[in-house]
Chain A
Amino acid sequence: MITVVLLGKLADLGGAPSLSLGAPLDWAGLKAALPETLAAVLDEPRNRVALNGVLLADKALLQAGEGDEIALLPPVSGG
């Protein structure tokens, strides 16, 4: 399984703070497996993606496998 952690308002769009999805997943596969309202905003540049705690420079190149954790990060509202 792959854990998908949803931060900020993306958790509202996804309906939960984290989801478990079957491995493997690329960017298109991830979007297809997520609720439509969430998938619809993920390509916006301001929404960033981390794989196993490391920010991806280009989220479209995502390749996640068994046991990986994907985090979907909307713009921060600061401290």
Chain B
Amino acid sequence: MMRDIRLLDAPFNPGALVGPFTNANPGLGGVCTFVGEVRPDAAVEALELTHYEPLTLPGMHALADRAFDRFDLMGLLMVHRVGLMHPGEPIVCVSAAALHRRDAIDAVDFCMDHLKSAAWFWKRERRAGAWHWIEPRAQDATDLARWQG
């Protein structure tokens, strides 16, 4: 079983991760990949993600465990940036390999909803030279609720 869960503190190239990940899952029926990037916004100069080492990476591993329990997966790649980022830079890459497409697609969707709303990251944006913390959104709770019950 291919499992690659990482935090990165420098820019990364998702394509350079997904190729080897796909090759490491011989016999797969499908691979689904999501890449999130810092959204270009004229007002946002930079984005900074902070994390808390003892909770953040273990939390991502626990999320991967749940994805493997819930979906029939051959492999899972979950890579998340921390630190200072600029518009257009990748923040997150989740890729799932499975025998059947639905497991791969749903596992990526599941991981992304949980990373976006329940993972231990704190985000702030720099606008006009001043930093602003990003508060949780109601949509995050709605996204999570899709996977409950």
Name A residues whose Cβ lies closer than 8 Å to a Cβ of B: 5, 7-9, 12, 50, 52-53, 55, 69, 71, 73-79
Contacts of B91 in A (CB 8 A): 79
Indicate if B33 sits at the interface (CB-CB under 8 A): no
Contacts of B54 in A (CB 8 A): 50, 52-53, 69, 71
Residues A78 and B52 in contact in the complex (CB < 8 Å), given A9-B133, A73-B120? no
Nearest A residue to B51, CB-CB: A7
Number of contacting residues on B, CB 8 A? Answer: 25
CA of A69 to CA of B52, assembled, Å = 12
Residues A8 and B55 in contact in the complex (CB < 8 Å), given A76-B120, A76-B122? no
Contacts of B121 in A (CB 8 A): 76-79
**Interface CB pairs A-B, < 8 A, 18:** A8-B122, A9-B133, A50-B52, A50-B54, A52-B54, A53-B58, A69-B54, A73-B55, A74-B122, A76-B117, A76-B122, A77-B121, A77-B136, A78-B115, A78-B121, A79-B36, A79-B49, A79-B91
Contacts of A75 in B (CB 8 A): 135-136
Name B residues whose Cβ lies closer than 8 Å to a Cβ of A: 36, 49-50, 52, 54-55, 58, 80, 91-92, 115-124, 133-136, 140
CA of A40 to CA of B119, assembled, Å = 25
Contact residue among B52, B58, B80, B134 (Cβ-Cβ distance under 8 Å from A77): B134
B50 touches A8 (CB 8 A): yes
CA of A74 to CA of B36, assembled, Å = 24
A79 touches B115 (CB 8 A): yes
